[in-house]
């Protein structure tokens, strides 16, 4: 069962099959990435770990072995591209963006052993495993249309973020001035008031911290109303950007 | 009082009266469906059941008898359509989509008796009764315009759901890493942190679970801000899609 | 100081001065309405009533006397319009829409005395006083542009309300099935679960009632995500309607 | 190291370098303003003040000395503009808008000493320090495009604020009528009910106050649904305004 390097390269590189869609190999890899991420998510739950203590480490080892195999195959097949030919080309490939992302998907497994005693590091390495999902980006040329619409209005979106930031500071400063005396724990400083302020301006509204003085409630009401503007501005900009993008497409494709 | 099968078919099939609107018979059926659903909703309330223990079973029996009558009439009248003629045609009709929906509206009544002792099954069969509302779909050709606008932008909407899903995983993973030590019950695993994360990203913000550490609050603030984007993106896409649909209509109808 | 009936009519009827804006008399009446409403709002606060027990009844009497004077002057001046001339015309005027609204602004004062002992009726008559704000509608021809945009998309907006209603019923039924056993008080019937469901679908999220079982949280998460659609659909429809209205205006005014 | 007044003026006045962007001097000033604001924010946190009691006063003094220096340099360099020449011109400059803003950025430092004993005044002067951020407005000609889009739809936006205000009053009056008996503390007057009403209509939903009677919950549900409209209307207007502005730009720039 000998597979030529050309055939392997065509199976692994999504750029070579633009009209054909993802190859069988790459589809399998996508499913593997999703399964590995799901395993990493479920492994964090202690009640599931308790059910079968050996299942998750075994699954993780299987996934890592498969990803190492994929990594080595890619390293071999990439020789088809002229700029990655030879030993120096391979080293250049290893430091290319997607190859590094592939490496990051493998490394946490080995680092995991170093962090056995430190609960925080164990959690951090589990989080790194979930970054494997970023590998899916290699296979998706789909969302460029959406990203383009965002990019053309980047300036306006940043500006609305800036306006939101100033409103955030202003409302938390106001609440700090009027509520600090009544609730020093929640509003005793501007950084503390920011927690309430961000929950209100984004209309999340946890309710763990709320003003209790009449004047504090008055400013809180103004903040909540301003929050509608904070939501309306980026939404309006995005709606206009998408509308623009869809219309341009219609005009160019001669649909009208 | 003999009614021909043709007249009956015209009364029952909404497709035959596109310009005339719903027939008197079908309007009566719509009202019956709404009343039966309202009865099913109110029956779940124990205080109302206690008021008159026999009212709801009697009403339910009346509705089911009427729906069975309607079902049999439809089965008889459908013979007007060539492809549903004869015994084999009738069997084919029974397994057609809307006939199955009609059957689902009747069956829970008979299944209900099997579940007398199991409180969960009783509740489940009551829920099935509410699915009768789906039967209204047979009579509505109205919302196709809205559905079309959704369908043309299906790709972009799915993509924004994907982006939302990744943000959801990322924010719950971050909170798991930084808050698990302080609140193991609420943030002790990624699936647990997902509950907080979904409430924050959708800006619902119940407040039953909130981060208490400073670093947790920082990541929570970022999540809340990202939530605005999560709302702004589908809203923007839908606004652009509707704007497109309304304009196309204006252009085709020569309004401009 | 004799004022002719024509001059009085011109002062009181906003339709006669379309280009000139509101007359001095009508502006004074608008300010009076706002002041009377503010008084009615503040009067409900017991701590303010305690400060000066006689101030609010006196203010209320002053406002009612002024409104009665205005009512009688309008009744006299309306004779300038041919269809309201004579005694029969005046009776026809009394039963016209805005004259009834004017009457409703006066009547609660006299009804108030009947409800001295019943706290609920006292509150209800205070609410009726606030309906005086509706009288401002007589003076505003401004918001017709906004109302027109709403009206042209009335069908789509109603449809999205219908979709929201079905989602509301469906999500509360699901939560009733899975959560009733764990929390009979909050989810023991579909009507009870509706309270949670409406707070979640509108992304208000009080947090006074939240699911506690894992399966309940799963359906709650789906409901919260559906809530984004519930907000996005009317927003998108309105955005498209306004965009349409603004563009039509530009086209007709030859701005482009 | 002698710098001519012309060169200094060119460094300080952003209007003179429209195509070149901000000068090195003005960029440094922007960074200084951001640092001074950050310091003012962090200084409010008692735990940070406790870490090094002398750091914040020293930093504040350094910033104020630098801002005074900048103020004097601006006062000297402004002589390049004909209308601010001579002593009378300088006095006119001192009372110009941006010069007053610059002064407000300096004064709180000196006023701060007067308020040593009054905790509220101390907090108020700290808030004034944060107003320094307003000085950044002098350097930004960027957000005029966004402001223009807002201005052209100012009328519609004000109208939607008016509609929101009426809904706010109406919903809080309703809740006052039906819930005052059950919860006199939270709904005992219209102003008290306003706090709940604003949190619900803006979909913030703290949950510190929620109706408990069935009829109260019914009106609360209606309010929550109305809240979607309150968010949808300004969002729709803004989306249409931005869409209009972007299209006008495309038409004028001949992109289509």
Q: What is the pLDDT of residue D126?
A: 77
Q: What is the DSSP string of D43-89?
A: HT-HHHHHH-TTHHHHHHHHHHHHHHHHHHHHHHHGGGSGGG-HHHH
Nearest to C233 by CA among C166, C186, C180, C171: C166
Q: What is the pLDDT of residue B256?
A: 40
Nearest to B124 by CA among C215, C210, C207, C197: C215
Nearest to A124 by CA among A107, A112, A136: A112
- Nearest-by-CA chain A residue for B228: A231
Q: Judge whether residue D6 has pLDDT over 70.
A: yes
- Nearest-by-CA chain A residue for C207: A206
pLDDT tier for residue A79 given thresholds of 50, 70 and 90: confident
Residues 106-125 in C contacting D (C-alpha not used; CB under 8 Å) = 119-120, 123-124
Q: Give all domains of chain C, ordered by start, each with its CATH number.
A: 5-142 (1.20.120.350), 147-252 (1.10.287.70)
Does the CB of A128 have a partner CB in chain B at under 8 Å? Answer: no
Average pLDDT of span B225-230 = 88
- Nearest-by-CA chain C residue for B46: C189
Q: Judge whether residue C212 has pLDDT over 90.
A: yes
Cross-chain residue pair A169–D145, CB shorter than 8 Å: no
Q: What is the pLDDT of residue D232?
A: 86
Shortest Cα distance, chain A CAs vs residue C11, angstroms: 37
pLDDT tier for residue D19 given thresholds of 50, 70 and 90: low
**D223-246 pLDDT, tens per residue?**
999 888 888 888 888 888 887 777
Does the CB of D222 have a partner CB in chain C at under 8 Å? Answer: no
Structure-token match 């939501």, residue found: A231
* CA–CA distance, D238 with A231 (Å, rounded to integer): 11
Q: Judge whether residue D200 has pLDDT over 90.
A: yes
Residues 6 or more apart whose Cβ sits within 8 Å of residue D254 = none
CB B165 within 8 A of CB B76: no
Query: Among the listed ranges B99-113, B241-255, C23-37, which one has the minimum average pLDDT value?
Result: B241-255
Q: What is the pLDDT of residue C216?
A: 94
* CA–CA distance, B171 with B222 (Å, rounded to integer): 9
Q: Give which of C242, C249, C255, C256 to mutate to test D binding, by max D Cβ within 10 Å.
A: C242
Average pLDDT of span A227-255 = 76
Q: Judge whether residue C141 has pLDDT over 80.
A: no
> C186: phi > 0 → left, psi -120 to 50 → alpha, else beta; which?
alpha
Q: What is the pLDDT of residue D105?
A: 79
CB–CB contacts below 8 A, A to D:
124
Does the CB of B218 have a partner CB in chain A at under 8 Å? Answer: no
Out of A180, A231, A239, closest to residue D123 by CB? A180
Average pLDDT, whole number, for chain B? 83
Q: What is the pLDDT of residue A123?
A: 80
Q: Give which of C132, C202, C249, C255 to mutate to test D binding, by max D Cβ within 10 Å.
A: C202
Query: Among the listed ranges A6-15, B66-75, D11-20, which one has the minimum average pLDDT value?
Result: D11-20
**Model ipTM value:** 0.85
**D177-188 pLDDT, tens per residue?**
999 999 999 999
pLDDT tier for residue A117 given thresholds of 50, 70 and 90: confident
Q: What is the pLDDT of residue D65?
A: 92
Residues 66-95 in A contacting B (C-alpha not used; CB under 8 Å) = none
B7: which 2 tokens?
């007249």
Q: What is the pLDDT of residue A1?
A: 47
Identify all chain D residues contacting A192, using CB atoms and an 8 Å cutoff: 45
Cross-chain residue pair A200–D204, CB shorter than 8 Å: yes
Shortest Cα distance, chain D CAs vs residue C82, angstroms: 34
Query: Among the listed ranges B156-170, D118-132, D157-171, which one has the minimum average pLDDT value?
Result: D118-132
**D151-175 pLDDT, tens per residue?**
888 878 888 888 888 899 999 999 9
* CA–CA distance, B128 with C190 (Å, rounded to integer): 13
Query: Among the listed ranges A89-103, B101-115, C54-68, C167-181, which one has the minimum average pLDDT value?
Result: B101-115
Does the CB of A1 have a partner CB in chain D at under 8 Å? Answer: no
pLDDT tier for residue D255 given thresholds of 50, 70 and 90: very low
Average pLDDT, whole number, for chain A? 83
């Amino acid at each position: 069962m000998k597979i030529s390097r050309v055939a392997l390269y065509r199976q692994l590189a999504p750029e070579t099959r633009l009209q054909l869609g993802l190859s069988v190999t790459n589809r399998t890899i996508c499913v593997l990435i999703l399964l590995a991420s799901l395993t990493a998510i479920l492994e964090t739950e202690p009640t599931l770990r308790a059910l079968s203590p050996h299942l998750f480490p075994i699954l993780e080892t299987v996934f890592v072995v498969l990803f190492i195999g994929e990594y080595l195959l890619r390293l071999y097949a990439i020789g088809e591209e002229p700029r990655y030919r030879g030993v120096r080309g391979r080293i250049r490939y290893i430091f290319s963006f997607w190859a590094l992302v592939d490496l990051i998907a493998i490394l946490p497994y080995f680092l995991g052993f170093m962090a056995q005693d430190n609960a925080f590091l164990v959690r951090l390495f589990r989080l790194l495993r979930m970054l494997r999902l970023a590998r899916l980006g290699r296979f998706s040329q789909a969302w460029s249309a959406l990203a383009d619409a965002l990019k053309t209005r980047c300036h306006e979106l940043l500006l609305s973020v800036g306006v939101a930031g100033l409103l955030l500071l202003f409302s938390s400063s106001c609440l700090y001035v009027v509520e600090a005396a009544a609730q020093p724990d929640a509003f005793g400083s501007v950084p503390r008031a920011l927690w309430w302020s961000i929950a209100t301006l984004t209309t999340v509204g946890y309710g763990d911290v709320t003003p209790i003085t009449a004047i504090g409630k008055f400013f809180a009401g103004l903040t909540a109303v301003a929050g509608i503007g904070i939501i309306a501005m980026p939404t309006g900009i995005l709606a206009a950007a998408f509308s623009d993008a869809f219309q341009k497409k219609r005009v160019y494709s001669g649909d009208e």
